[in-house]
Amino acid sequence: MSESNLNTDSPADVFDTSVIPTEFTAEVTRLPAHDDDLPADRYIDRELSWLAFNQRVLELAEDPAVPLLERANFLAIFASNLDEFFMVRVAGLKRRIVTGLAVPTNIGRAPTDVLADINRTAYELQLRHARCWSDHVRPELAEAGVRFVAWDSLDSADRQVLTEYYEQHIYPVLMPLAVDPAHPFPYISGRALNISIRVRNPRSDKVEFARLKVPQMIPRYVRVDQRESDDNVRFIALEELIANQLDGLFPGMEVVDHHVFRVTRNEDVEIEEDETENLIQALEKELLRRRFGPPIRLEISNDMDQATLDLLVSEFDIDPQQVYTLPAPLDLGGLFALGRLERPELKFTPHIPVTHPDFRPTSPSDRPDVFRAIGRREVLVHHPYESFATSVQAFVEQAALDPDVLAIKQTLYRTSGDSPIVAALIKAAEAGKQVLALVEIKARFDEEANITWARKLEQAGVHVVYGLVGLKTHCKLVHVIREEQGKLTHYCHIGTGNYNPKTSRIYEDFGLFTSSPEVGRDVTKLFNVLSGYAIETNYDRLLVAPEGLRKGLLSRIEREAENALAGKPSGIKLKANSMVDEEIIDALYRASRAGVPIEVWIRGICSIKAQVPGLSENIQVRSVLGRYLEHSRIYAFANAGEREVYIGSADLMHRNLDRRIEVLARIIDREHLARIDRFFAYGFSDDVSSWRMLPDGSWHRRTVTEEGEPLRDLQDLVMADRTEARSRGAR
């Protein structure tokens, strides 16, 4: 696709069948009526697909074209992602195997076979991850003046400085724990670094075992000299610094050897809900149990002796295939801290989010009026290219202070510890407004923070509810009711991302602001469902899970297939974080067979197969990863020329469609539709770097043209697009 096509504003271009390449069409004589018409091997295993996603993250760390500190950051992201994958996905799979409740996977394989594949693939990726650090990123950082040094390489002056730091900041908090008949093997917390130590008693010549936890509240990488500038700085790993001070922890004993290890536990929270239990109390009990979840991965340094390894395997009662022998350092998640270095030349060029033109003051002396802007016309914002602070945050803060605002209702799935959104809700309640906050305290790994915020909101007089029994509330909604000239006006925000100012700077998301009475009625109905006993399935501009979203998407996919067979314009464009749901995938396969051109833009798990002869010739699948996490969900249907485009919170997974409250909102403004068209044109352009799924389910990354010229970066293109739009006042 040429550069001129990348910049088109025409709403029709995205579904113009005249520009569909010939290899993107298929001869179809009928629309299959039953899934039996589809091949049995039509899905990709979801767990292995997730590992393929994390491999794409690793490929960014391996890419020499990515700034060096950003490559280190991608190494940390890879490590953090893999931890969560084991804590949740692998833990769940193993739990089902152990309890005998495991059923065949989405591709019909035995869960034990899939677990073996996971362990093999994950181990290979971790070795590749370690090599990327030791062979490439670390040496290149050293050339740039950021060095990671070993204790043995330091002179006496440096050692003295570090010893003083150790004695003042580390030694007092260390807790060595002996293991002997009087001291049972200690509990080892998940994801913590540990040092296994063998010491000899010179009186008895007996060798004993001890475990030392590396303190998590101390920086993982310690500056050798605090006076060094960021241009020429040296770090030593905390565990190495401690390991070279062990004699002082065991006076009178001889330290024989030491090794580093780390265990990952099942940290998924399982709560049995009923109509009468106190959900917060149940969750708090379960969070305590999380710390004691069974081990599901043991990482050890590759110098560990067999006696120590045998002891750990025995005490953890862990399968040998889940023991990962790796070169030091273990857990490269500590590399996140390098982002604090003031080395702009080693990072992505900073991008400052712009204020959406509709939310800019008309003159320097004016204050922005969010309500006036939304009242004039609907506003579509795109984060982080456009500012969260001057749109979503300003909306809630203005509502909290506006004397004409009577009520505010908001869903909170994840938010930050110092959230201005929560602070604004508290101010609104203290000012006497009706405020309802639906806090999803079952948001995985944010449960404790959300419990804390829920209690603070309740203490301020906010009506706090926790959603419906058995369902997570994942939708992103703000509803403001304002009295204007004796009538009530509804102002709504419906988004694809969380109300979290911190993640809004790195997550790509869309949000729709509207004062449409139609949307206002829909959102009013939905909040009544969430906070009361209402049962509502009829909405005008919303698709709502679990009652209507699956049916709504399936009916629209089937309609596109019927239109294609009838010779009418057809097309489907989907953007989501994950696609796993078999019923949706099968509907897309049937639509592809009917001749519907389908573009699937997926960041993570993708169980659909692309461009398989006789099955999915008309399906293209792309993935884009970069400085921002692609997080928005978009569902677009050609609809014989009367397009339907939705944005919202739902991914194409069973849990989103069947076990969560999710919302998609229809976009109707032509300029907004054109903007989304342009976004998809970037994502699927041959001139833009991306990963493409091949018919065998593997991913191929294209970063250069056939002539060797670098392809353009999608996120850079969108940044330039928004900056240019701001300069000319376009929407």
Question: How far is the C-alpha of 70 from the C-alpha of 140, rounded, in Å?
Answer: 12
Among 539, 526, 494, CA closest to 512 = 494
Neighbours of 28 (CB within 10 A): 19
Q: How far is CA 210 from CA 182, 256, 326, 338, 571, in A?
A: 13, 11, 21, 32, 64
Whether the CB-CB separation of 434 and 463 falls below 8 Å is answered with yes
601, β-bridge pairs: 575, 622
Local structure of residue 253 (DSSP, 8 states) = S
Local structure of residue 86 (DSSP, 8 states) = I
Q: Is 474 annotated in the active site?
A: yes
Residues 74, 75, 78, 83: is their CA dihedral positive or negative? negative
Question: How far is the C-alpha of 452 from the C-alpha of 434, rounded, in Å?
Answer: 21
Whether the CB-CB separation of 423 and 456 falls below 8 Å is answered with no
State the amino acid at position 309 in one-letter form: L
């088109």: which residue's tokens?
8
Rg value, the chain, Cα:
28
Local structure of residue 108 (DSSP, 8 states) = S
Q: Which of 383, 474, 493, 672 is catalytic?
A: 474
The H or E element containing residue 589 is helix 582-593
Strand 146-148 with 233-237, pairing = parallel
Whether the CB-CB separation of 240 and 257 falls below 8 Å is answered with no
Q: What angle (nearest 5°) sits at the alpha carbon of residue 181, between those of residues 178 and 185?
A: 50
Question: How far is the C-alpha of 123 from the C-alpha of 90, rounded, in Å?
Answer: 13
Residue 30 token pair: 């009928």
Question: How far is the C-alpha of 185 from the C-alpha of 311, rounded, in Å?
Answer: 10
DSSP conformation letters of 512-527: EEE--HHHHHHHHHHH
- Residue 200's φ and ψ, nearest 5 degrees, are -110, 130
Residue 145 token pair: 């003046």
- Residue 135's φ and ψ, nearest 5 degrees, are -95, -20
Whether the CB-CB separation of 8 and 673 falls below 8 Å is answered with no
Among 509, 486, 476, 508, CA closest to 396 = 476
Task: Give the active site residues.
Answer: 474
